[in-house]
Structure 1
Amino acid sequence: MLDGAVVWMNARGNTEQWGTTPYSGTANGAERVRRYMTENAPFVAEADGTPVGALVLDTGPSPQMPIKPAAEPERYVRLLVSDRRYAGRGIGAALLAHAAEETRRAGVELLRVDCWAGGGGQLVAFYERQGFTPAERFLSGTWPGQVLARRIVVPRERSGQAR
């Protein structure tokens, strides 16, 4: 899915977000996917048994990113990707809804994500349509990024139970 996303972005003229090298061909690509799947909470969406999307949820931002952890417990979307052959079917939205529910189940009231803020802001607008609000902008080298946050309503008896 990650390699397909690079091809799809490049075909649309977007060579800045993830570059032009297939994800599996980058220096850390395979190792990063292994870490995502073993050190975080990965969720895979399927259609008729075929993986069509993936989301990785963690307790904070990647240490490699110039983003500060929140001042309160949070869940953080580290990765969201969908198979572009299934574009327009709401896979990303469904995975984000699942992340919100997992955040609620953990008794955590803050769900955050960071994304590429270039290209006219289409990706930022996608997250806004999913209930996120822009929080802080950042630069990772020359890569423009945006952190977005979404408040999660947690029943009072569950609030504060998160680690």
Structure 2
Amino acid sequence: MSEQPIRLRVAAPADLPRLLELMDSVLSWLVARGRTQQWGDVPFSRIPGFPDRVADWIAQRVITLAERGTDCVGILAMAPVVPQRIPAGLVPASAMFVHTVMTERGPRGRGVGSLLMQEAERQARAASAPAVALDHWAGSDELQRIYHKHGYTPVGEYNDERANAPTRNVVQVLHLPST
């Protein structure tokens, strides 16, 4: 049986439970492997205010949902707003910022991350942005390799002090050639 194609679309309010379920399953996968440094171990759906933040992103139409059949297998949240935690000067003016990208960790998630990263670049070009930026946990060689493969370059690091234990993060930027 051939694998179902991946379909991308803008998330709708009715997708909120599926998005939170995917995010919780990714976190559970990380926790099961002892990788709590990036996001901790509290499910996203149980973090006070987080479901409301995702609902707000949905209302702003900044979430792209990846589906295989009726299954939610990926999420990309991207907007022209750089989070306040990012040190000034690291992200080019008018760049698009990837707030999160997550994919199902099983076989149904295969290829979804690359497709979402291509979608981030497509959306940035459509918005005439000069670059796409993102941040991620500095302790993940896997994330470094993934983003390098997609053309991102590290431009700086910072400590995220929001959690009980500071987390070291890397900011990476993909500069887009002007057309």
Q: Please give the range of the TM-score, normalised by the shorter of the 2 chains.
A: 0.7 to 0.9
Paired residue for 2:58? 37
Question: Is 1:84 paired with 2:108?
Answer: no
| Alpha carbons 1:52, 1:86 under 8 Å: kept | no
Q: Pick the aligned partner of 2:177 from 145, 148, 153.
A: 153
Paired residue for 1:52? 73
Matched residue pairs, number? 153
Alignment gaps of 5+ in structure 1: 156-163
The TM-score normalised by the length of structure 1 is 0.85
Q: For 1:68, what is the secondary structure of its paired residue? A: coil
Q: Give distance in 1, aligned partners of 2:107 and 2:24.
A: 15
| Alpha carbons 2:23, 2:102 under 8 Å: kept | yes
RMSD, aligned α-carbons: 1.7
Q: For 2:125, what is the secondary structure of its paired residue? A: helix
Q: Pick the aligned partner of 2:116 from 95, 101, 117.
A: 95
- Offset, 1:88: 5.8
Question: Is 1:134 paired with 2:158?
Answer: no
More displaced 10-residue stretch of structure 1: 131-140 or 77-86: 77-86
**Amino acid across the alignment from 2:176:** I
Residues 62-97 of structure 1 show CA distances to partners (whole Å, capped at 9, x for unaligned) of: 23x243363421111011011223466121111010
Question: Is 1:6 paired with 2:27?
Answer: yes
The TM-score normalised by the length of structure 2 is 0.78
Q: Runs ≥4 in structure 1, deviation > 3 angstroms?
A: none
Q: Give distance in 2, aligned partners of 1:42 and 1:67.
A: 24
**Amino acid across the alignment from 2:78:** L
Paired residue for 1:160? none
Q: For 1:54, what is the secondary structure of its paired residue? A: strand
Identity of aligned residues (%): 25
Alignment gaps of 5+ in structure 2: 1-21
Q: For 1:27, what is the secondary structure of its paired residue? A: coil
Q: For 1:92, what is the secondary structure of its paired residue? A: helix
Question: Is 1:122 paired with 2:164?
Answer: no
